[in-house]
Structure 1
Amino acid sequence: MRTWQRPYSLDVATGFAVLGLVAVAGLATFFAIMYVRGQLPTPVAILLAVWLAGAVAVTARHAMLGVYVSDGGIRSRSLLRTATVPWASVAEIHSGTATMAGFDMGRVAIVIERTDGVSIQTPLQRGDLFRPFTFRPELGRLATWPEHYDEILTTLRAHHHDAQRRRTASTALPAPPPAATRPMNPSAGAGRARAARDALTAEQRRDIHALTRQHQRGALTDIEFAAELAKIQDTD
Structure 2
Amino acid sequence: MRGWQRPYSVDLATGSAMLGLVGVAGFGVFLGILYVRGHLSAPMAVLCGVWLAAALAVTARRAVLGVYVSDGGLRTRSLLRTITLPWESVAAIRSGTASIGGLDMGRTAIVIERADGVLIQTPLQRGDVFRPFTFRPELGRLATWPEHYDEILATLRAHHRDAQRRRPAASAAQLPLPPPGVGSTSPTDGVTRTPAPHDAVSADQRRDIHTLIRQHQRGALSDAEFAVELAKIRGTG
Deviation, structure 1 residue 50 = 0.4
Q: Do the aligned partners of residues 225 and 112 (structure 1) sit closer, same or farther apart at CA in structure 2, a change above 3 Å counting? A: farther
Q: Do the aligned partners of residues 136 and 6 (structure 1) sit closer, same or farther apart at CA in structure 2, a change above 3 Å counting? A: farther
Query: Which letter maps to 1:92?
Result: A
Deviation, structure 1 residue 35 = 0.3
Q: Determine whether 1:109 maps to 2:72.
A: no
Of 183, 190, 211, the match for 1:227: 190
Q: Report if aligned partners of 1:128, 1:135 keep a CA contact under 8 Å in 2.
A: no
Equivalence for 1:208: none
- Whole-Å separation in 1 of the counterparts to 2:133 and 2:110: 20
* Structure with bigger gyration radius: 1
* Correspondences of 1:174-189 after superposition (within 5 Å): 175-180=175-180
Deviation, structure 1 residue 22 = 0.4
- Whole-Å separation in 1 of the counterparts to 2:174 and 2:46: 66
Deviation, structure 1 residue 168 = 1.6
- Whole-Å separation in 1 of the counterparts to 2:159 and 2:176: 30
Query: Which letter maps to 1:64?
Result: V
Residue-pair matches, total: 192
Q: Do the aligned partners of residues 13 and 43 (structure 1) sit closer, same or farther apart at CA in structure 2, a change above 3 Å counting? A: same
Deviation, structure 1 residue 131 = 4.3
Equivalence for 1:195: none
- Whole-Å separation in 2 of the counterparts to 1:177 and 1:96: 45
Equivalence for 2:36: 36
Deviation, structure 1 residue 176 = 3.9
Query: Residue deviations 1:185-234, cap 9 Å, x none?
Result: xxxxxxxxxxxxxxxxxxxxxxxxxxxxxx44x2x354x674399xxxxx
Deviation, structure 1 residue 178 = 3.2
Deviation, structure 1 residue 172 = 3.3
- Whole-Å separation in 2 of the counterparts to 1:82 and 1:24: 24
Deviation, structure 1 residue 133 = 3.8
More displaced 10-residue stretch of structure 1: 170-179 or 50-59: 170-179
Equivalence for 1:151: 151
TM-score by length of 2: 0.75
SS of alignment partner, residue 111 of structure 2: strand
SS of alignment partner, residue 93 of structure 1: strand
Query: Which letter maps to 2:29?
Result: T
Q: Determine whether 1:91 maps to 2:91.
A: yes
- Whole-Å separation in 2 of the counterparts to 1:149 and 1:106: 15
Q: Report if aligned partners of 2:125, 2:141 keep a CA contact under 8 Å in 1.
A: yes
Q: Report if aligned partners of 2:62, 2:139 keep a CA contact under 8 Å in 1.
A: no
Deviation, structure 1 residue 139 = 2.9
Q: Do the aligned partners of residues 89 and 134 (structure 1) sit closer, same or farther apart at CA in structure 2, a change above 3 Å counting? A: farther
Query: Residue deviations 1:32-74, cap 9 Å, x none?
Result: 0000001101100000000000000000000010000001100
- Whole-Å separation in 1 of the counterparts to 2:47 and 2:131: 39
Query: Residue deviations 1:11-32, cap 9 Å, x none?
Result: 0100010011000000000000
Q: Do the aligned partners of residues 150 and 136 (structure 1) sit closer, same or farther apart at CA in structure 2, a change above 3 Å counting? A: farther
Q: Do the aligned partners of residues 111 and 135 (structure 1) sit closer, same or farther apart at CA in structure 2, a change above 3 Å counting? A: farther
SS of alignment partner, residue 161 of structure 2: helix
Deviation, structure 1 residue 128 = 1.7
Q: Report if aligned partners of 1:73, 1:87 keep a CA contact under 8 Å in 2.
A: yes
Provide the alpha-carbon RMSD of the alignment: 2.2
- In structure 1, the gaps of 5 or more residues are 181-214, 230-236
- Whole-Å separation in 2 of the counterparts to 1:169 and 1:135: 49
- Whole-Å separation in 2 of the counterparts to 1:155 and 1:137: 26
Q: Do the aligned partners of residues 57 and 225 (structure 1) sit closer, same or farther apart at CA in structure 2, a change above 3 Å counting? A: farther
Query: Which letter maps to 1:80?
Result: L
- Whole-Å separation in 2 of the counterparts to 1:135 and 1:157: 31
The runs of 4+ residues in structure 1 deviating greater than 6 Å are none
- Whole-Å separation in 2 of the counterparts to 1:158 and 1:25: 37
SS of alignment partner, residue 172 of structure 1: helix
Richer in helix (by share): 1
